[in-house]
Homo-oligomer: A and B are copies of this chain.
Amino acid sequence: MSQSLLENLIEQLQCLPGVGPKTAQRMAFHLLQRKRQAGKELSVVLNEAMDNIGQCSECRNYTELELCGICQNAKRAIDGTLCIVESASDLAAVEQSAQFSGRYFVLHGCLSPIDGVGPSEIGLFQLEQMLENGHVSEVILALNPSVEGEATSHYIADICKSHNISITRIAHGIPVGGELEMVDSSTITHALMGRKQF
């Protein structure tokens, strides 16, 4: 017997991260029972998003426009700071803190020669052009403290130095509200190295 439409739906829902057969089945029944209109609306926006969302020509953040909302906002350029993140979800996390009023640059990865990811794959030549324009006074590195993150941070630091742009990195340490005994040793190492006068 060929696959039914319901079986097909349950299979396709598993392209979503963290969704296995059981969860996909629960989702399919939920939509069929109570959310058919919402399911149809999701179908439309999903198709539009997959077709039309590309990268902002300035910062490489996801957007369906030539320039993302942040790059369109002139106030954010005046700030002069540029926060460099590995992913669009990292950008969203910084943005949700509402503490940063400059612009971003999204690498969509890290330098990883073994995997064939060099400077051009993560937009570093585009970044260099941006820094040459002279509108950036400070680059803030917000990359993960992994081996690849460190190598990428050093590469970007070298670009900044050659353009006389100040470079900082966000602090790594114990999360606020986090218990010391629950934190991994790599975080504790960073917290110790980043200690400040009391």
Check A9 against B43 for contact (C-beta < 8 Å).
no
Select the stretch in A44-52, A124-132, A145-153 that faces chain B: A44-52
Residues in B neighbouring A49, C-beta threshold 8 A: 5-6, 8-9, 28, 31-32, 39
Contact A40 B31 (CB under 8 A): no
Contact of A4 among B4, B25, B64 (CB under 8 A): B64
Please, which residues of chain B bring their CB within 8 A of the CB of A46? 9, 12, 31, 39-40, 42-43, 46
Interface residues in A43-82 (C-beta closer than 8 Å to B): 43-53, 62-65, 68-69
Contact (A45, B89) CB under 8 Å given A6-B63, A32-B53, A53-B32: no
The stretch among A15-23, A97-105, A177-185, A187-195 that forms the contact with chain B is A15-23
A117 contacts the other chain (Cβ, under 8 Å)?
no
B4 touches A63 (CB 8 A): yes
Answer whether residue A171 sits at the interface, using C-beta atoms and an 8 A cutoff.
Answer: no
Main secondary structure of the interface of A (DSSP, over half): helix
Number of copies of chain A assembled together: 2
Q: Does A1 contact B (CB under 8 A)?
A: yes
CA distance A97 to B4 in the complex (A): 19
Q: Which residue on B lies nearest to A7, using beta carbons?
A: B69
Chain B positions within 8 Å of A65 at CB level: 4
The residue in chain B whose Cβ has the minimal distance to the Cβ of A61 is: B6
Q: Does A88 contact B (CB under 8 A)?
A: yes
Binary per-residue interface labels of chain A (106-123) against chain B in the complex, 1 for a CB within 8 Å, 0 otherwise: 001000000000000000
Q: Is A87 an interface residue (CB 8 A)?
A: yes
A107: shortest Cβ distance to chain B, in Å? 12
Contacts A5-B49, A52-B5 given; does A12 touch B38 at CB 8 Å = yes
A contact set with B: CB distance below 8 Å: 1, 4-6, 8-9, 12-13, 15-18, 23, 25-33, 35-53, 62-65, 68-69, 87-89, 92, 108
